[in-house]
Amino acid sequence: MSTSADISQAASVTVGIAALSIDEVVAVARRDAAVVLDEAALVEVERSRAIIDALAEDPEPHYGISTGFGALATTFIAADRRAQLQASLVRSHAAGSGAEVEREVVRALMLLRLSTLMTGRTGVRRVTVETYAAILNAGITPIVREYGSLGCSGDLAPLSHCALVAMGEGEVRAADGRLLAAGDALSAAGISPLKLGEKEGLALINGTDGMLGMLALAIDDLRMLLTTADVSAAMSVEGLLGTQAVFAPELHRLRPQVGQAVSAANLYALLAGSPIVASHKGPECTRVQDAYSLRCAPQVHGAARDTVDHAASVADRELASAVDNPVLTLDGRVESNGNFHGAPVAYVLDFLAIAVADVASMSERRTDRFLDQARSHGLPPFLAHEVGVDSGLMIAQYTAAGIVSELKRLAVPASVDSIPSSAMQEDHVSMGWAAARKLRRSIDGLTRVLAIEVMTAARGLDLRAPLVPGAATGAVVGLVRTVVDGPGQDRFLSPEIEAIVELVASGAVVTAANTAVTLVR
Task: Say which residues have a Cβ less than 8 Å from residue 254's Cβ, sequence separation at least 6.
Answer: none
Burial-class residue 230 by CB neighbours within 10 Å (0-12, 13-18, 19+): buried
- How far apart, in whole angstroms, are the C-alpha atoms of residue 86 and residue 65? 9
Listed residue (473, 489, 499) closest to 228, CA to CA: 473
- How far apart, in whole angstroms, are the C-alpha atoms of residue 425 and residue 325? 14
Q: Which DSSP string do the residues of 407-450 spell out, in sequence order?
A: HHHHTS-STT----BTTTTB-----HHHHHHHHHHHHHHHHHHH
Query: What 3 state SS string does 451-501 have?
Result: HHHHHHHHHHHHCCCCCCCCHHHHHHHHHHCCCCCCCCCCCCCHHHHHHHH
Three-state secondary-structure class, residue 186: helix
Contact between 91 and 169 (Cβ < 8 Å):
yes
Describe the strand order of the beta sheet including 141-142 as a list of residue ranges: 141-142, 171-173, 179-181
Q: Could you tell me where the DSSP H helices lie in 67-208?
A: 82-93, 103-117, 126-137, 156-166, 182-188, 200-205
Listed residue (273, 239, 229) closest to 446, CA to CA: 229
The number of beta carbons lying within 10 Å of the beta carbon of residue 124 is 30
- How far apart, in whole angstroms, are the C-alpha atoms of residue 302 and residue 150? 32
The number of beta carbons lying within 10 Å of the beta carbon of residue 178 is 9
- How far apart, in whole angstroms, are the C-alpha atoms of residue 155 and residue 503? 33
Note if 63 is an active site residue: yes
The active-site residue out of 63, 268, 292, 398 is: 63
Task: Say which residues have a Cβ less than 8 Å from residue 246's Cβ, sequence separation at least 6.
Answer: 290, 295
Task: Say which residues have a Cβ less than 8 Å from residue 85's Cβ, sequence separation at least 6.
Answer: 68, 77, 201
Angle, CA 406 vertex, CA 352 and CA 240 arms, to 5°:
85
Contact between 78 and 68 (Cβ < 8 Å):
no
Active site amino acids:
63
